Structure 1
């Protein structure tokens, strides 16, 4: 016997789900799913309080199929209650509870957050700080000698200053480039989060990216570039300006400290499947030594936020965005990513 049949039998012990013996068909239709042990009628407002205590998986896969009454109740009341309940249970998500209570969402959003809670506010970049060497990263030109992993805890102020935020995040490693080096990672949003294309298309959860970058104090020339793009299911760049972000920075001589680059992709439109993340470092020391005096970068970060979360909108540099895209007309200025895609695949 199937699991679904077992489920129905289990619930028939408590709730009368077949046609009632009453001759009043209208009464039967209204109270279907509310009769306990075939004797006691449960007030409709009590049913959500019962169902919210059902585990998320059962609620998602089975309870909505019991009857129309349950399906409607779960959509209208239970998923929001369940979402709040799930967030309250996890200290990492309690601070998001206010957002959920303030915003008005479709039940699908509450349902998705409840079922796929850990897909949000989670770094989707693998090995962001080099704790596993260069694993998961694709090195441009396949030259693994282009990067070295360094222990930033060994840095003193004469090399590169580590700020308090990095210490609080317990960042202990960084990548350091040689003269000119870049590496790539492409994130599959479906595979890494479990979210559907329909959900991403319709509710547009913001995509947050960030990274720390810095240099040695004795680096005469140090250049950093971060390029993040949104691709469709065929690994094709989406030619919309809000799907294309580039940040370039030339570090001044003697600067010697880390800074943070941040951006949020919002209202990016349909068909987004992959996030392309590529960073490049260029460096030259004052003595022209042949060594790793290029840009340092660490804690590369790509996260999905809850839909309508505006808490990080302040990091969006509209002036930089407009400057970079000022020559775009109907389509965003594109680049040839075919070689990069072939490297990754």
Structure 2
């Protein structure tokens, strides 16, 4: 039994091997069949491709023949064109030879012109180099001036900030003073009555022979910040109230104008009305001829402010501050050009000038300006708008080495930018002036219109020979004056 099983086991692998061999044969046959079909398909494709190539070759041969005929036609055309172009070239060659002869003649002439032009260019180049060096130096100087202006602008901004803080502190202080005054008003009323009597007594002593140490006017006794005690050992007070207005005005006319406005005007309503009227100032004007003429002319103005006229004297005086440079450049807005402005002594005296000095400009434009506030100088809006007094401007200028000079004066509105009237002048420049004589430029603004509040005065000058230093326009005694006819 075991032998049969062992035989059976030996036969099983042989059967499996035979089966595997049969399967592999079968697969090989199938693969051969498939490859044969693929070869046949490939052969048909190759035959089809060969037929297409033959057709394309036939077509390309026809195209080549056609192209060859076209090329032959083109060659024949080119030969004809070449023949024509040869004739044209011969004609062009003759023309070029003629032109060449003309160009040789022109070249000879242009060579001489080029040599001359080259010499001129070399000279111009030397001049440009000199000017470039000069401009470089001027630019460096201008940069330095701009830096100085920026520094001064920053300082001005700091000053404005300090002024704003000071105004705020002043407003706070005024508020505190007002509150303190309201709290002490009842008590100070009695002291005010007593202090008024003391002030009247002191004024009487001042004008009727009292000793100097007893005749000094003290500060207003009713001020809350000052002691209220009366000076000891004073004689009996003199009551000025019974005096008539004419006699009281005569007494007040001997008080200086500033004390009249700042102190005496605050005593009582009667004194205030007298000081605001024309009588006191007319009496002062009789002892001061210039002031008397002004007060007489001021009667023609609408609503004259007598105290303002008498104290500030806005008519008939020069409103330009530092007109001759006696205080260097104070009150002026200055723009330095070249070596900048300089203040020097006059080589030729100017009659009527407050000082015999002048401003001297350099070899580039030097500009100087001043803004005049007519209200601060003592005028008032109704006078400027209704009566429109004459505004007279004047300027004196000269030179010793040649200069250019110009002036521009504008009447501005309250916003400082609207121009209501304007005067400009640029006299012919002076070439040489050994005697340094001055020339005057003047103008009168009349009927200029309503709204004038400021006068902007600007002038400038420079040296026409571009010398280092200050040899330009000499300017002095600049004048802005308000006159009443």
- 1:281: Cα distance to partner? 1.0
- 1:116 paired residue number: 312
Contact 2:320-2:478 within 8 A present in 1 as well:
yes
SS in 2 for 1:6: helix
**Is 1:209–2:393 an aligned residue pair?**
yes
Aligned length: 250
Q: 1:143 to 1:290 in 2, by over 3 A?
A: closer
User: Equivalent residues in 2 for 1:1-345 (5 A)?
Assistant: 1=188, 6=193, 10=197, 47-54=245-252, 55=255, 56-57=260-261, 60-61=265-266, 65-66=269-270, 74=274, 79-90=277-288, 94-98=289-293, 100-101=295-296, 104-105=299-300, 108-117=304-313, 119-140=314-335, 143=337, 145-152=339-346, 155=347, 162-163=348-349, 165=351, 169-191=354-376, 193-216=377-400, 218-219=401-402, 222-239=403-420, 243-255=421-433, 256-285=436-465, 289-305=467-483, 309-310=484-485
TM-superposed CA distance for 1:277, in Å, is 0.8
Shift of 1:109: 4.4
Structure having the higher Rg: 2
- What is the distance in 2 between the residues matched to 1:268 and 1:163? 34
User: Distance between the aligned counterparts of 1:303 and 1:291, measured in 2?
Assistant: 33
Question: 1:147 Cα deviation (Å)?
Answer: 1.6
Aligned residue for 1:292, secondary structure, equals coil
RMSD: 3.8
Distance in 2 separating the partners of 1:261 and 1:3: 62
Give how far 1:250 is off.
1.2
Residue pair 1:51, 1:59 contacting (<8 A) in 2 also: no
What TM-score results when the alignment is normalised by the length of structure 1?
0.59
Structure 1 alignment gaps of length 5 or more: 15-36, 156-161, 311-345
Q: 1:202 to 1:282 in 2, by over 3 A?
A: same
Report if aligned partners of 1:211, 1:260 keep a CA contact under 8 Å in 2: yes
Structure 2 SS opposite 1:146: coil
Structure 1 residue 296 displacement after superposition: 0.9
Residue-by-residue CA offset, 1:36-62 (whole Å, 9 max, x unaligned): x9xx998xxx53343343353267555
Check the 8 A contact 1:230/1:273 in 2, yes or no: yes
Flag the 1:180–1:103 CA change in 2: closer, same or farther, 3 A: closer
Unaligned runs of 5+ in 2: 1-187, 202-238
Aligned CA distance change for structure 1 residues 169 and 125 (closer, same or farther; 3 Å): closer
TM-score norm. by structure 2 comes to 0.44
Bigger share in strand: 1
- Taking the aligned partners of 2:283 and 2:194, their CA distance within structure 1 comes to 24
Higher relative contact order (CA 8 A, sep 6+): 1
Deviations 1:100-152 (A, max 9, x none): 446743562444322433x4434332332223333332233x55832222222
Instruction: Output the CA distance in 2 between the equivalents of 1:124 and 1:271.
Output: 19
